Structure 1
Amino acid sequence: MEIVVTGRHTQIKQRFRDVTENKMNRVTAIAPDAQRAQVVVTHEGNPRQADTAKKVEITVIAGRTVVRAEASSTDEFSALDLALDKLTLRLRRSRDRRKDHRRGYTNPQPVDLGVVEPPAEPEEPAEEPSNSPADAVAGDLGPGESVEVQVGDTPIVIRRKLHIAEPMSIDEALYEMELIGHDFFLFVNKETNRPSVVYHRHGWSYGVFEIDTPENVEKSK
């Protein structure tokens, strides 16, 4: 498995790289088909946040499955341990789910079609804003690519990203959301062919939000 360790606002010491490569054996033991692991260490410079001064994000790609986990602590080593604990738990769930599907068993998740609550945007690497509105067209981006555009002379920055969404069921979308550790997941509902979002509300309660145009709704009547 390829392991890539990078730092944001911090230098990565060789000792941390060595420890990371050694501890990532836990990943290959659970997911032998894992091809790549991206480990990102972020330093928080605010002294008031010393307890979470180091954040470690781990993203593992195993076949078509992407599993992600992150954790913060006083130092990068303890943050790595916490993130790995979360990651290995999600990898075990993924492995067990594949076993259940091979047996012909699926475990549906409860879905609550409630009032949509705006999900939090996941933190991602900062990028240099562009001043050209044309650069913000998602159609000009490649899969996974993103761009930031500053609105005139205002401090407002709009970030756009192209996400390739494969058609899937609501249950599959909930599963993918849990694997990457986000509060929401964007997908195309294969039953309705509509752009949709599943999101976590509270406890074991989830919601799903679908988008359509008035014209399409009228046609379907």
Structure 2
Amino acid sequence: MATFTVRGKNIEITPSLREYVEKRVGKVTKYFDSVGDIKVLLTVSKGRHIVEVTVPIPGGILLRGEESTMDMYTSIDLVVEKLERQIHKQKTKLARRLRSGQFKTEELKSSPMPDVHDESDTYKVVKTKHFIVKPMDVQEAIMEMNLLNHNFFVFRDAETEAVNVVYRRDDGNYGLIESDN
């Protein structure tokens, strides 16, 4: 039986909510012989109901999922689906990394997941876009990103000619990804 640590931020964890979390998130334990303490953080922020789940698996594996919707129960359901997709997608890696018997591959066969790519699958590119990367400094790139109302902007550094990316962080600040050219 898995142990759960369910915490709430700006929300009261009622017994029925805790029971729902344990029932739904507990589904991922059927794939493994043992799991560590499952941590679940339920947050309400600006009308969004955010669920963060961390499932430690013996052998140094960490499953993690986060979902955000306008309904807490929907967020819980979606994060469980995300964790199960991770398990199905990584099944061969998990089976190799965990000692024999710890990972229950028969559970995967009995519960097929749609739209899951195996490691041998190739990814299909359905659209290609071309654009000119203009030379500018970081401040100009941030201004351009804000004018276009995008979350990131690709630009060529005016001094070094390197292609870089500026992006808007969740905390409202900006980040810069520099290439090593």
Q: Is the 8 A contact 1:31 1:91 kept in 2?
A: no
Contact 2:24 2:76 in 1 (8 A): no
- SS where residue 16 of structure 2 aligns? helix
1:59 to 54, 59, 77: 54
Counterpart code for 2:84:
T
Displacement of 1:36: 1.8
Q: 5 Å matches for 1:31-50?
A: 31-44=32-45, 46=46, 50=47
Q: What amino acid is the match of 1:54?
A: H
Classify 1:116/1:36 alpha carbon distance in 2 versus 1 (closer, same or farther; 3 Å).
Answer: farther
Q: Give the whole-Å Cα distance in 2 for the aligned partners of 1:76 and 1:91.
A: 23
User: Structure 1 counterpart of 2:16, which letter?
Assistant: R
The answer on whether the counterparts of 1:61 and 1:67 sit within 8 Å (CA) in structure 2 is yes
**Counterpart in the other structure of 1:11:** 12
Following superposition, the deviation at residue 11 of structure 1 comes to: 1.1
> RMSD of the TM alignment (CA)?
3.5
Superposed counterparts of 1:191-206, under 5 Å? none
- % identical aligned pairs: 19
Summarize the Cα distance change of 1:2–1:94 in structure 2 as closer, same or farther, 3 Å threshold: farther
Q: CA deviation at 1:89?
A: 1.0
Task: Structure 2 unaligned segments of length 5 or more: list them.
Answer: 99-118, 124-161
- Structure 1: segments with no counterpart, 5+ residues: 124-155, 157-198, 200-208, 211-221
Whole-Å Cα distance in 1 between the matches of residues 28 and 18 of structure 2? 16
- Going from structure 1 to structure 2, the CA distance change for 1:24 and 1:94 (only over 3 Å counts) comes to same
Quote how far apart the aligned CAs of 1:122 are.
Answer: 7.5
Q: Which residue of 1 aligns with 2:143?
A: none
Q: In structure 1, how many angstroms separate the alpha carbons of the residues matched to 2:167 and 2:73?
A: 30
Residues 88 and 121 (structure 1 numbering): CA distance in 2 closer, same or farther, change over 3 Å? Answer: farther
**Per-residue deviation, residues 83-141 of structure 1 (Å, max 9, x unmatched):** 11101111233332233579xxx86x99xxx9554677678xxxxxxxxxxxxxxxxxx
One-letter amino acid of the structure 2 residue matched with residue 70 of structure 1: E
Q: How many matched pairs?
A: 116
Pairing 1:1-221 to 2, within 5 Å after superposition:
1-44=2-45, 46=46, 50=47, 53-63=48-58, 64-99=60-95, 115=163, 117=165
Task: Give the distance between the partners of 1:62 and 1:28, measured in 2 at CA.
Answer: 9
